[in-house]
Structure 1
């Protein structure tokens, strides 16, 4: 199943077309370009300070994202990035005392975004642009979950995925870092952590 087929099952509209365009562009990139990647050292600082998730759990995710030199390491980093977002979303639900679906990653994210949007509106800071950013977070979470399902760890693969480059792992790490930073800063602004 391709990324666009997987997305088409769960998302309708222009997102599917965007995935197709991105896939086409990725196939045109030269594979010989050296990717500039930054290690996750120093990443997730806000998350660590917030203690939203346990420090030992964060350390385990960061270790899995620390190297992007081989296909196995890139696959591991992608899996860890998706799992870290899931851990942050679960911890946020627990902090907010909101029940959530244990087995449905998109519903978990939606639960977090919905509750945070309600709290933002109550604080008087919600705008249409913030609502659009929340919708964008849903798209990003779904795309990362799709990437993890196709090339990340966690599905007992008999072979490593082909075509993985450090930039793919770095994008997953950047996504997880941005997501965690946004959750922590929102919870902090609302005086919840």
Structure 2
């Protein structure tokens, strides 16, 4: 995974995982950090590369860089997190017999932080999207909510790669149907999404919902969801560009954010219905 979700909690966990204040020395070195910080264009956030050479430890550097990224360029920060985890793994940071082992507590903290964003960090440092089919109802909704948060920011990796062959909106529709009917049968996307809308009492072009004043908006959301699905590169989902080559980057961001908006709407409606 080239990009890893970044938030305040993950920034703290990533700074802890490089903290070597209590040991004589441990890789990655400051020079290693210099290289990946510069490679990702995050040097403006690094106190060491900005002349503060005093007592700037690795943890303080990483925390400062990630906080700068959260404010000014989250996408660069997400790429940096992925590279830093790869760097730690390459130095044996996740192997308890290695002199560069980062410690069980630091790994557990990072695992828990990433899990809330739909990412599984294995004990050997490998990263995979959370497989939704293996989760309980509560875990499923928490994972979907994490993908929705990222989709609403235009993060294509989270919006399309939910650890399954489904995109985010398809996964949410399937969850709605399973929750309300006990199971769902695989079908084409418009039928799947239409059934989810119908079960939630929402209008589609073929069904009338319970709230007439919301009907036009609900139909628009349904049609928008189908339109976004039509833009998917279905052979490439999970293995490269998630949208057709004719879709520009700006159009892709709009499509992803739309996917997040519709997914959030459906998930909130489901919570209302079952509460």
Per the normalisation by structure 1, the TM-score is 0.50
C-alpha offsets along residues 93-149 of structure 1, whole Å, 9 cap, x if unaligned? 01101654413111000101111117xxxxxx9332322222112211111111114
Counterpart-to-counterpart distance in 1, 2:141 and 2:269: 19
1:126 and 1:56 map into 2 onto residues whose CA distance is: 29
Q: In structure 2, the residue corresponding to 1:53 is in which secondary structure?
A: helix
Counterpart of 1:10 in structure 2 is none
Q: Does 1:179 align with 2:262?
A: yes
Q: In structure 1, what is the Cα distance between the partners aligned to 2:184 and 2:140?
A: 17
Q: Does the 8 Å contact 2:154/2:254 carry over to 1? A: no
Q: Which runs of 5+ in 2 are unaligned?
A: 1-72, 79-115, 118-136, 203-208
For the 8 Å contact 1:110–1:138, the answer to whether it is kept is yes
| Equivalence for 1:14 | none
1:155-166 alignment to 2 at 5 Å?
162=245, 164-166=247-249
CA RMSD of aligned residues (A): 4.4
Structure 1 partner of 2:175: 91
1:39-50 paired onto structure 2 within 5 Å: none
Q: CA deviation at 1:186?
A: 1.2
Asked if residue 134 in structure 1 is aligned to residue 218 in structure 2, the reply is: yes
- Which structure 2 residues correspond to residues 36-185 of structure 1 after superposition, within 5 A? 51=138, 53=140, 55=142, 79-80=160-161, 83-97=167-181, 100-117=184-201, 126-149=210-233, 153-154=236-237, 162=245, 164-185=247-268
Structure 2 distance, partners of 1:137, 1:58, is 18
Separation in structure 2 between the aligned mates of residue 80 and residue 65 of structure 1, nearest angstrom: 14
Tell me, in whole angstroms, the C-alpha distance in 1 between the residues paired with 2:257 and 2:154.
Answer: 14
TM-score, normalising length from structure 2?
Answer: 0.37
Q: Which residue of 1 aligns with 2:17?
A: none
Distance 1:62 1:187, change over 3 A: closer
The unaligned stretches of length 5 or more in structure 1 are 1-36, 69-73, 119-124
- Which of structures 1 and 2 has the larger relative contact order (alpha carbons within 8 angstroms, sep 6+)? 1
Would the alpha carbon gap of residues 56 and 149 (structure 1) be closer, same or farther in structure 2, given more than 3 Å must change? same
CA 1:168–1:95: 2 relative to 1, 3 Å = same
Please give the per-residue CA displacement for 1:47-91, whole angstroms capped at 9, x wherever unaligned: xxx9472656776898899887xxxxx6x6774497000000000
Q: Whose Rg is larger?
A: 2
Q: Aligned pair count?
A: 134
Whether contact under 8 Å (2:160, 2:167) holds in the other structure is yes
